[in-house]
Amino acid sequence: MEVKLAIFYYSSTGTNYQLAQWAEAAAKEAGAEVRVRKVKELAPEEAIAQNPAWHQHYQATKDVPEAELEDLEWADGYIFSVPTRFGNVPAQVKQFIDTAGGLWAEGKLVDKVVSAMTSAQNPHGGQEATILNLYTTMFHWGSIIVGPGYTDPVTFAAGGNPYGISVSVDQDGNMVEDVEAAVKHQAKRTVEVTKKIVTG
């Protein structure tokens, strides 16, 4: 059966957009109907303009649809791809999450399947913490959390984060580890578990 997957990402300089696109490709191949949704930028234009990479990515992704509460309601499962901000999710993503109180109160977020990915400048700069901090909220939602674990050897090759695939970026914003296969495995696994949840 076809399940509905929403991939929510926030990205200043493109890394998490790329992770989201790899996840999209794999989820579609696994038979999901997929929406990729950009979490709304909240930083002032002046701040964005001061960082050429941020400005370039902001302009290049202007046409990507923004995440709406309706996407949370629509999807059977979610993948979040968000960069580390001091070991936590970006404020933009927290703001989006915090608008979901109404859906939460109506019980509409219960049993949504959730998986998360991240990036950070440093391998030990908070990648695991960021994903776990996001998952903390998901427990409040009654979500079914699906990490990659070590369900496929590709996780080891990508740095071995069982909570969610994570990647380091160098000073120029390039990904250090090759995580494409691991991201695709995580997305496929999320779709497969979502199918099991939806069909009971």
Ligand X SMILES: Cc1cc2nc3c(=O)[nH]c(=O)nc-3n(C[C@H](O)[C@H](O)[C@H](O)COP(=O)(O)O)c2cc1C
Contact 8, 134 (CB under 8 A): no
Binding mask 161-180 for ligand X (x = CB under 6 A): --------x---x-------
Residue 15 Cβ vs ligand X, minimum distance, rounded to whole Å: 3
Q: Which stretch binds ligand X (CB under 6 A): 6-14, 22-30, 105-113, 145-153?
A: 6-14
The one-letter amino acid code at 20 reads A
Classified as helix, coil or strand, 168 is strand
In angstroms, rounded to a whole number, what is the distance separating the alpha carbons of residues 68 and 84? Answer: 22
User: What's the CA angle centered on 120, arms 87 and 42, to 5 degrees?
Assistant: 75
Q: Find the binder of ligand X among 28, 64, 87, 103 (CB under 6 A).
A: 87
147 sits near ligand X (criterion: CB under 6 A): no
Kindly determine how many residues on this chain lie close enough to bind ligand X according to the rule CB under 6 A.
19
Determine which residue in the list 85, 112, 184, 195 makes contact with ligand X, applying CB under 6 A. Answer: 85
Q: What residues between 93 and 122 interact with ligand X by CB under 6 A?
A: 119-122
Alpha carbon distances (Å) from 53 to 15, 37, 171: 11, 20, 11
Pattern 124-143, ligand X, x by CB under 6 A? -xx-----------------
The least CB distance from residue 100 to ligand X, in Å, is 22
CB of 170 to ligand X, least distance (A): 10
Give the angle 144-66-96 at the CA atoms, nearest 5°.
Answer: 50
How far is 16 from 128, CA to CA, in rounded Å?
15
Does position 186 interact with ligand X (CB under 6 A)? The reply is: no
Instruction: Report in angstroms how near the CB of residue 91 gets to ligand X at its nearest.
Output: 9
DSSP 97: H
Work out how close the CB of 9 gets to ligand X at its nearest, in angstroms, rounded to a whole number: 8
In DSSP notation, 45-60 reads: HHHHHTSHHHHHHHHH
| Interface with ligand X (CB under 6 A) | 11-16, 83-87, 119-122, 125-126, 169, 173
